[in-house]
């Protein structure tokens, strides 16, 4: 198994000459070109996992000295099992043991292909399924019998559900935990929608590094789908958070995006 050093997504060997995820317009190849790495190489370089409990039964897991894109995974623990969301591109025995200590993990899932990480490796170590939106299955670099495709909505557990809303990728998804945020509802979005640094708005893009926008129609579709859910807190994939009022923030941000791409504010430019 090889890992793309730029996006930290795992691939079967022989790996492609160039990582398709990085060659796509939403990502990029570094100036030095494609480079592959391995878990052993990363461990020998001193890579370790970092941990923080951000609210009861939600642990953030990332890598010290970011691996690939450097996402922050979310481990959501319930009495019936856990979900590992947006898994890192690295794992080690200590990390697996710490996850297992929180109880059985039923599924590993990513918001979109940039966040696949070493999801199969995590699933094997945790004896869990890998859930992949069918619309994004074409981006899988590694095959395994643990991979299960889904579309539309998928219940990981009662009250913990994946919702495909598209946009950034056709299969881009969010995870809703109805008991999160002290029962007000926790929405894990990856960068399907992106909590902004002002902590009062979210963004919608086809490509974040290359700044390719989504159309008004697509943003309206995403917002309309998420309006049917109940949540208060929004957590992205880099520790970025909307602490409260998530539904209002989402609607207001969607309306702002739509107005700008429609040209309502061209007189200000």
pLDDT tens-digit series, residues 69-94: 999 999 999 999 999 999 999 999 99
pLDDT at 98 over 90: yes
Dihedral-angle region of residue 266 (phi above 0 means left; psi in -120 to 50 means alpha; beta otherwise): alpha
Reported as a single tens digit per residue, the pLDDT across 117-144 is: 999 999 999 999 999 999 999 999 999 9
Tell me the pLDDT band of 218, cut-offs 50, 70 and 90: very high
Proportion of the chain above pLDDT 70, given as a percent: 100
pLDDT at 237: 95
State mean pLDDT over 167-176: 98
Largest CA distance in the chain: 57
Which residues, other chains included, contact 108 with Cβ-Cβ below 8 Å and sequence gap of 6+? 83, 84, 87, 119, 122, 123, 126, 128, 129, 130, 131
35 CB-near residues (< 8 Å, 6+ apart): 4, 5, 6
C-alpha distance from residue 85 to each of 131, 160, 232 (Å): 10, 12, 19
Residue 116 near residue 10, CB atoms below 8 Å? yes
Q: From CA 191, how far away is CA 4, in angstroms rounded?
A: 20
Q: Which residues are CB-neighbours of 81 under 8 A, at least 6 positions away?
A: 103, 104, 105, 106, 157
CB 29 within 8 A of CB 209: no
Which backbone phi and psi does 262 adopt, to 5 degrees?
-80, -20
* 206 — pLDDT class (breaks 50, 70, 90): very high
Residue 66's pLDDT band (boundaries 50, 70, 90)? confident
Domains of the chain: 2-268 (3.60.15.10)
Range list of H helices, 14-87? 20-23, 39-44
- The confidence band for 65, taking pLDDT boundaries of 50, 70 and 90, is confident
Rounded to the nearest 5 degrees, what angle is found at the Cα of 72, between the Cα atoms of 68 and 78? 140
| pLDDT tier at 64, thresholds 50, 70, 90 | confident
How large is the average pLDDT for residues 3-18?
97
* Structure-token pair, residue 121: 């490796």
Mean pLDDT of 17-36: 97
Contacts with 68 (C-beta within 8 Å, 6 or more apart), sequence order: 3, 4, 5, 6, 7, 8, 9, 89, 117
């Amino acid at each position: 198994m090889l890992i793309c050093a730029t996006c930290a997504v795992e691939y079967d060997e022989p790996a492609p000459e160039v990582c398709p995820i990085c060659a796509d317009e939403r990502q990029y190849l570094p100036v030095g070109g494609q480079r592959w790495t391995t878990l052993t190489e990363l461990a020998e370089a001193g890579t370790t996992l970092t941990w923080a409990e951000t609210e009861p039964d939600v642990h953030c897991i990332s890598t010290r000295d970011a691996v690939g894109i450097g996402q922050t995974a979310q481990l959501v623990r319930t009495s019936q099992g856990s979900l590992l969301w947006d898994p890192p591109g690295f794992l080690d025995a200590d990390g697996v043991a710490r996850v297992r200590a929180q109880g059985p993990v039923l599924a590993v899932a990513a918001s979109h292909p940039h966040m696949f990480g070493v999801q199969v490796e995590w699933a094997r170590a945790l004896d869990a399924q890998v859930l992949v939106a069918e619309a994004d299955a074409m981006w899988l670099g590694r095959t395994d019998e643990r991979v299960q495709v889904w579309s539309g909505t998928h219940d990981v557990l009662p009250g913990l559900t994946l919702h495909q809303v598209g946009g950034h990728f056709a299969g881009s998804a969010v995870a809703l935990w109805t008991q999160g945020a002290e029962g007000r509802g926790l929405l894990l979005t990856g960068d399907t929608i992106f909590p902004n640094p002002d902590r009062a708005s979210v963004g919608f893009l086809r490509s974040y590094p290359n700044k390719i926008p989504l159309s008004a129609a697509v943003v309206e579709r995403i917002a309309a789908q998420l309006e049917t859910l109940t949540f208060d807190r929004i957590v992205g994939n880099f520790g970025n958070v909307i602490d409260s009022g998530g539904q209002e923030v989402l609607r207001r941000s969607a309306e702002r995006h739509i107005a700008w791409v429609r040209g309502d504010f061209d007189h200000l430019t």
